Amino acid sequence: MIVEEMTMGEFEDGLKTTKSVLIPFGSVEEHGYHLPLSTDTIQAYEVSKAAAQIIPLFIAPPVHYGCCRSTSCHPGTISITTNTLQCLMKDIVRSLYSHGLRNFIVLTGHAGATHKMALIDAGEELLTELPNSKLAVLSEYDLAFTEGREIIETIGDSHAGEIETSRIMYLYPNLVKGAGEREFPDFPQGILVRNKRKYWTNGVWGDPTKATSDKGRRINELVVGKLIEFVDILEKFSEK
């Protein structure tokens, strides 16, 4: 059930079959010279919609912005503060809760550590505020990395590398502009730097040259399956 495509009546009927909703969070962030700025949003939203075709599940409209620190100096990245991110998440969950939803899965396609921690902190606040609610924060990229470990060849592959390039090649091949080049960032350990692009020129963390559409398809299918399993786990979860 894709919320942005539903009528008021369809939303009401949907509540009779499930009280679970998945909220995709993405980013507007550089992904090298070959992938679109919406890569994180695309991945999170597409696996969410695929899961909803298999099980009863509301899919909220995606949040297209995230907190992007390491890529903040790269052209095209539009970052928001952690406070703004948390306020967005809390307001969205509160509103959905007011309409009768009780199980909330925040699925973030952007895997930045600060971004993820901000979402987790917001979730902890909501737990104390909303009675009978269940909340989870999942990293969509972490699911892809874990489930695709037997498929991916590049050790340490991450941002705009083999994994993400393969997935966008499968989902939206028309948005892939070239092959990209192998690159790994070289940030000084423990030192905060102003010009982050100086240590990460092309914004790739991995090897996109090893990407294929078939790898992307297989990884996506694995992530969708894992997501469906997790919805079932959350719905059955009961604190002792």
| 130 lies in some domain | yes
What is the phi/psi pair of residue 24, to 5°? -80, 130
Which CATH number do you get for residue 212?
A: 3.40.50.10310
The per-residue pLDDT for range 41-81, each reduced to its tens digit, is 999 999 999 999 999 999 999 999 999 999 999 999 999 99
| 240 lies in some domain | no
| 21 lies in some domain | yes
Q: Which domain holds residue 19?
A: 14-230
Count how many Cα atoms sit within 13 Å of the Cα of residue 234 in the half-sphere of its side chain.
Answer: 24
Residue 207 to residue 179: CA distance in whole angstroms? 10
| 5 lies in some domain | no
Residue 66: the pLDDT is 97
Residue 174: the pLDDT is 97
| 102 lies in some domain | yes
Q: Is there a contact between 79 and 37 (Cβ–Cβ < 8 Å)?
A: no
The partner residues of 58 in beta bridges, in order of sequence, read 21
| 6 lies in some domain | no
As for how many domains the chain has, the answer is 1
Q: pLDDT-derived band of residue 238, with 50, 70 and 90 as boundaries?
A: confident
| 238 lies in some domain | no
| 108 lies in some domain | yes
The per-residue pLDDT for range 74-84, each reduced to its tens digit, is 999 999 999 99
The per-residue pLDDT for range 165-205, each reduced to its tens digit, is 999 999 999 999 998 999 999 999 999 999 999 999 999 99
Residue 179: the pLDDT is 86
